[in-house]
Amino acid sequence: MTAIQEIIDDFAFLDDWEDRMRFVIELGKALPDLPDADKTAENKVQGCASQVWLATTAGEGADPVMTYHGDSDAFIVRGLVAIVLSAYSGKKASDVVTFDALDLFKQLRLLEHLSAQRANGLRSMIQRIREEAARRLV
């Protein structure tokens, strides 16, 4: 998975939205496939027009490190999943709960180019990730 700072730096060089969307698709292509065993109804994100699955694992302790894996059946959405996973995976649950990736998508100038359905799906993904982390905080 690509580090979030690397993604931010790469986006800084892309001026038009078509280049940005091509890069999002490339990020999605580079995302490792989620095993079919993890593509369950429980892992499916509700509120997404495309099919999106998120699998979560948490480390030990009162503020565990969260690891997220995901997938989608749509190229652009798969790229959005890759960005979200890069932003949240590997962080402590307390950091996941307080970080709003929507701000990141605004910074990358992506949010303004997403359809209403995709933006709602993105919000659903982010909300789900933050709720999973909140449940792990003791």
- Say which CATH number the domain at 129 has: 3.90.1010.10
Kindly provide the residue ranges of all beta strands, DSSP E only, lying in 1-138, ordered along the sequence: 52-58, 65-72, 91-92
Q: E strand or H helix at 22, and its extent?
A: helix 17-30
For residue 113, what pLDDT band results from cuts at 50, 70 and 90?
A: confident
**48 labelled catalytic:** yes
- Marked catalytic residue, from 4, 24, 34, 48: 48
Taking the CB of residue 53, how many other CB atoms lie within 10 A of it? 21
The total number of structural domains that make up the chain: 1
Q: What percent of the chain has pLDDT over 90?
A: 83
Taking only the tens place, the pLDDT of each residue in 57-103 is 999 999 999 999 999 999 999 999 999 999 999 999 999 999 999 99
Domain that holds residue 54: 4-136
Q: What is the pLDDT of residue 2?
A: 67
Q: Are 77 and 121 in contact (CB under 8 A)?
A: yes
Q: What is the pLDDT of residue 123?
A: 94
For residue 1, what pLDDT band results from cuts at 50, 70 and 90?
A: low
